[in-house]
Amino acid sequence: MQQRIINRVEGDPHYSAYLQSTRPKITDGTSTSAIILAARQIAKNVSAKCIASFTVGGNTARMASMKRPEQPILAISPLKATCRHLAMSWGVYPEHCPEDQMNTDNFRDMLWVACDIGKKKGLVTEDTDLLVVTAGFPFGTPGAANIIRVIPGKLQKELLKPSFIALITQINTHFYLFLLS
């Protein structure tokens, strides 16, 4: 019953306009906020199926939820408590992934994890579906979200060869975007 109500409301053409008008304008001047705003815009522009966010404490996923993106947010955390808290956030699908199941020193391995979990949760169904992945390096540092990457639902080895990754960093009061290869 609830799913039918949700589908009907979200299918209404005025619903998207309503979300746009009530979406909070959160710009607290941090790199995390900038990454989340960029992820929301990128996901909309490339018609991504979801935004995957690697998070330890859940702050990045909560901020993404507050910005009300049109895509669901896949929050991947090594802490069960964080996943439990994120279950109450709007549009967030938390997934517990123990650190021994993901190599946090290698971002490419983490991308594989995001694809696998996205498929397992049903957020990505086709191999060509896109995910917008956000993370912070070094992983586990609170408020360190500084990487964003767009990947297909089925990663291939050639797609994981060094390519461009966006890194946003703050120096004094200015943000700088670096494209890393």
Reported as a pLDDT band with limits 50, 70 and 90, residue 176 is: low
Count the helix, strand and coil residues of the chain and give each as a percent rounded to the nearest 5.
40, 25, 35
8-20, pLDDT tens digit by residue? 888 888 887 777 6
* Domain 28-180, CATH: 3.40.1380.20
Most confident of 97-101, 114-118, 175-179: 114-118
- Which pLDDT score is estimated for 181? 45
Over range 151-165, report the average pLDDT: 59
pLDDT of residue 9: 82
Q: With contact defined as beta carbons under 8 Å apart, do 147 and 3 qualify?
A: no
Question: Which tokens hold the place of 175?
Answer: 């943000």
Q: For residue range 45-72, what is the model confidence (pLDDT) as tens digits?
A: 899 999 999 998 898 888 888 877 789 9
Q: In this predicted model, which residue has the larger pLDDT, 106 or 78?
A: 78
pLDDT in the model for residue 127: 84
Contact 142, 57 (CB under 8 A): yes
